[in-house]
């Protein structure tokens, strides 16, 4: 696909800001109005007085080795939420373009489009919360720039059928954005392997879930080199700070820690599902490939309020009728899950 045809003209022609650290990171650095005497936070890390690397070279190299993907296909964002916004800004003309968002899905897609004044065409997921390829294709028009997908999907927890995604990628002359925030919890394969064949697919991932680093605010995307170049043009120069860089590098050196967290969560998830099935107010538990469970609940509102009174916080989504009587429950640690089950059983 000729990606140039998909990009906003002003972005294609944009001369990006060149920051001081884009040009030099060594020598006597008198080019960025930094503090040449040091940093009030030098007990944390060296060189905090200097701006971080705008090209994210060290980080991208470490991730490239971990994923076995070329550096030129990777970019980090301040959470994967930032990547969603950047992708919209690169491809969508405010007030003119539209995107397709299957629903229910991750709420930030919609909010990011609204912030950017991009029309949203919602399209219901099918009865199993999978994509309905035909109904999506029917919605595509000349102004459609992006189809947002999330697999495993938040808040339903299921993975989308890869064959259906491929069908869409074949049929659509635009960007397919696949949010894989929960992929590490899934036994389904990532879409990474298909990137070679489809240059219009962008995959986003995060360190906030399986890696347990939500406070760090770091996500990344994997896409065609040309798309990565455009995202670098548009992002703020120094988006990833040095504390984040150091933390992520350390985590990437010990991926088994992430694997251990994932297997602990999956073990607790199985147990939580078994326990929830014995709870009176739980009608149905949807299949889940993520670190959360979507459960259909009798009197969901009342149960939600009851849990809140007990200071147990779960999510209820009223914006989609099909899940309005469900609660989305993140798998907690053993203590948290035990407390949840005990509290729910007291309601019986
Ligand atoms: C599907 C999905 N994508 C992205 C995010 C946010 O990721 P990050 O913390 O990297 O911004 C979330 C958080 O809940 C999510 O559910």
Q: Determine the atom of ligand 1 nearest the C-alpha atom of 218.
A: 10
pLDDT at 175: 97
Q: What is the pLDDT of residues 249-306, one digit of tens each?
A: 999 999 999 999 999 999 999 999 999 999 999 999 999 999 999 999 999 999 999 9
Please tell me the residue having the least CA distance from ligand 1 atom 2.
Answer: 181
pLDDT at 22: 87
The yes or no reply on domain 256-347 and CATH 3.90.1580.10 is: no
Which helix (H) or strand (E) element contains residue 309?
Answer: helix 300-309
pLDDT at 324: 94
pLDDT at 32: 86
pLDDT at 41: 85
Q: Which residues line ligand 1 (CB under 6 A)?
A: 79-81, 106, 150, 154, 179, 181, 206, 208, 214, 219
Alpha-carbon span 7 to 230, nearest angstrom: 9
Query: Ligand 1 centroid vs 170 CA: distance in angstroms?
Result: 27
Instruction: Count Cβ atoms within 10 A of the Cβ of residue 63 and give its class: 0-12 exposed, 13-18 middle, 19 or more buried.
Output: buried
Average pLDDT over residues 102-128: 96
Q: Where are the domain boundaries for CATH 3.40.640.10 in the chain?
A: 3-19+54-253
The yes or no reply on domain 3-19+54-253 and CATH 3.40.640.10 is: yes
Q: Determine the atom of ligand 1 nearest the C-alpha atom of 82.
A: 11
Query: Ligand 1 centroid vs 348 CA: distance in angstroms?
Result: 34
Q: Which residues of 38-59 are buried (b: 16+ CB within 10 A; e: fewer)?
A: eeeeeeeeeebbbbbbbbbeeb
* Mutation pick for ligand 1 pocket among 77, 186, 209 (CB with most ligand atoms within 8 Å): 209
pLDDT at 326: 97
- Mean pLDDT, the chain, rounded, equals 95
**Going by C-beta distance under 8 Å and a sequence separation of 6 or more, which residues neighbour residue 111?**
none
Dihedral-angle region of residue 142 (phi above 0 means left; psi in -120 to 50 means alpha; beta otherwise): alpha
**Going by C-beta distance under 8 Å and a sequence separation of 6 or more, which residues neighbour residue 159?**
151, 152, 153, 186, 188, 289
* Mutation pick for ligand 1 pocket among 80, 86, 105, 155 (CB with most ligand atoms within 8 Å): 80
* Mutation pick for ligand 1 pocket among 101, 149, 154 (CB with most ligand atoms within 8 Å): 154
Alpha-carbon span 100 to 143, nearest angstrom: 11
Please tell me the residue having the least CA distance from ligand 1 atom 7.
Answer: 80
Query: Ligand 1 centroid vs 167 CA: distance in angstroms?
Result: 25
Contact 258, 184 (CB under 8 A): yes
pLDDT at 214: 95
Among the residue ranges 32-36, 73-77, 120-124, 251-255, the one predicted with the least confidence is 32-36
Q: What is the pLDDT of residues 141-196, one digit of tens each?
A: 999 999 999 999 999 999 999 999 999 999 999 999 999 999 999 999 899 989 98
Please tell me the residue having the least CA distance from ligand 1 atom 8.
Answer: 79
Please tell me the residue having the least CA distance from ligand 1 atom 11.
Answer: 79
**Going by C-beta distance under 8 Å and a sequence separation of 6 or more, which residues neighbour residue 26?**
none
Three-state DSSP at 74 gives strand
pLDDT at 325: 95
Average pLDDT over residues 188-208: 94
User: Strand 119-124 relative to strand 98-103: parallel, antiparallel, unpaired?
Assistant: parallel
Q: Where are the domain boundaries for CATH 3.90.1150.10 in the chain?
A: 256-347
Omega cis (within 30) before 309: no
Q: What DSSP designation does 315 have?
A: B
Query: Ligand 1 centroid vs 140 CA: distance in angstroms?
Result: 26
Q: What is the pLDDT of residues 2-53, one digit of tens each?
A: 999 999 999 999 999 888 888 888 888 878 889 888 888 888 888 999 999 9
pLDDT at 38: 83
Tokens of 159: 């993975």
**DSSP letter string, 135-163:** HHHHH--TTEEEEEEESSPTTT-PPPPHH
**Residue 326: which of 288, 275, 269 has the closest Cα?**
288
CA dihedral 318, 290, 103, 79 (to 10 degrees): 90
pLDDT at 9: 93
* Mutation pick for ligand 1 pocket among 105, 160, 204, 206 (CB with most ligand atoms within 8 Å): 206
Contact 109, 101 (CB under 8 A): yes
Query: Ligand 1 centroid vs 23 CA: distance in angstroms?
Result: 32
The reported pTM is 0.96
């Amino acid at each position: 696909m000729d990606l140039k045809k998909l990009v906003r003209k002003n972005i294609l022609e944009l001369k990006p800001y060149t920051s001081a650290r884009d040009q030099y990171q060594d020598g006597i650095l008198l080019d960025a109005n930094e503090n040449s005497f040091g940093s009030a936070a030098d007990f944390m890390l060296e060189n905090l007085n200097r701006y971080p690397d705008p090209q994210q070279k060290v980080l991208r190299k470490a991730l490239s080795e971990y994923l076995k993907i070329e550096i030129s296909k990777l970019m980090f964002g301040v959470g994967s939420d930032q990547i969603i916004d950047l992708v919209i800004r690169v491809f969508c003309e405010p007030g003119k373009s539209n995107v397709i968002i299957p629903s229910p899905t991750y709420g930030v897609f919609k909010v990011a489009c609204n912030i950017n004044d991009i029309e949203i065409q919602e399209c219901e997921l099918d009865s199993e919360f999978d994509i309905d390829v035909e109904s999506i294709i029917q919605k595509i028009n000349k102004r459609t720039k992006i189809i947002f997908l999330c697999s495993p999907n938040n808040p339903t927890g299921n993975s989308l059928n890869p064959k259906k995604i491929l069908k869409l990628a074949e049929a659509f002359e635009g960007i397919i954005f696949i949010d894989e925030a929960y992929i590490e919890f899934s036994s389904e394969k990532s879409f990474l392997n298909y990137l070679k064949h489809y240059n219009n697919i962008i995959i986003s991932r995060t360190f906030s879930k399986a890696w347990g680093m939500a406070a760090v605010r770091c996500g990344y995307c994997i896409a065609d080199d040309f798309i990565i170049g455009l995202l670098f043009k548009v992002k703020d120069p120094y988006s990833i700070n040095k504390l984040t860089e150091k933390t992520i590098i350390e985590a990437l050196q010990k991926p088994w820690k992430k694997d251990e967290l994932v297997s602990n969560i999956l073990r607790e998830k199985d147990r939580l599902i078994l326990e929830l099935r014995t709870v009176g107010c739980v009608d149905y538990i949807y299949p889940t490939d993520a670190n959360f469970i979507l459960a259909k609940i009798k009197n969901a509102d009342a149960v939600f309020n009851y849990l809140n009174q007990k200071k147990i916080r779960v999510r209820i989504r009223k914006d989609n009728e099909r899940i309005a009587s469900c609660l989305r429950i993140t798998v907690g640690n053993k203590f948290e899950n035990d407390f949840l089950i005990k509290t729910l059983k007291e309601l019986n």
